[in-house]
Amino acid sequence: MTLVLEVNGERHALEVEPTRRLLAVLREDLALTGAKLGCGEGACGACAVLLDGIPVVSCLLPVGAVAGRAVTTIEGLGERAAAVQEAFVAEDALQCGFCTPGQVVSATALLEVTENPTRDEIHAAMSGNLCRCGTYPKIERAILRVAGRAVA
């Protein structure tokens, strides 16, 4: 079946089964490998992408459900994500780095809708993203840094 997907602002006509996972299509068919397969059960957030601006787990989402909607991967986030990535580095908010793309996607989405988030808003927005290395306080500081509230 031919599905037309809008990914990172570009339209792609792909011959794919509509029940195939979006993550597989992104990684295997479009060579967008930023989103990672972590748990495969929608619990870790390593595969997070934006769907119409809202963070979703792409490991569970059938590609047929996103036809006609805007999908944005970490590769397509642009300037705001660059600031988030720089803050992650400055705050040492990554260790192994496996979860970082999903963390950056979720943090960027939060900052798009809430310029100056509270700690509670950060915790709520990032609750779908797990970090095996436990860098949560540093991730929080990185988000606060981007919001202009650097924490000592």
User: So what's the pLDDT on residue 149?
Assistant: 67
* CATH 3.10.20.30 location in the chain: 2-75
Whether the per-residue pLDDT at 120 is higher than 60: the answer is yes
In this predicted structure, what is the pLDDT of residue 64?
Answer: 96
What is the dotted CATH code of the domain comprising 78-146? 1.10.150.120
- 14-30 pLDDT, tens per residue? 999 999 999 999 999 99
The answer, yes or no, to whether residue 57 has pLDDT greater than 60, is: yes
Region 54-76: mean pLDDT is 96
- Residue 1 pLDDT level (bands cut at 50, 70, 90): confident
2-75: CATH topology:
Ubiquitin-like (UB roll) (3.10.20)
CA–CA distances in Å: residue 123 to residues 39, 92, 104, 127: 21, 18, 14, 6
In terms of Cβ atoms closer than 10 Å to its own Cβ (0-12, 13-18, 19+), residue 14 is middle
Question: Which residues neighbour 88 within 8 Å (Cβ) at sequence distance 6 or greater?
Answer: 94, 100, 103, 104, 138, 139, 142
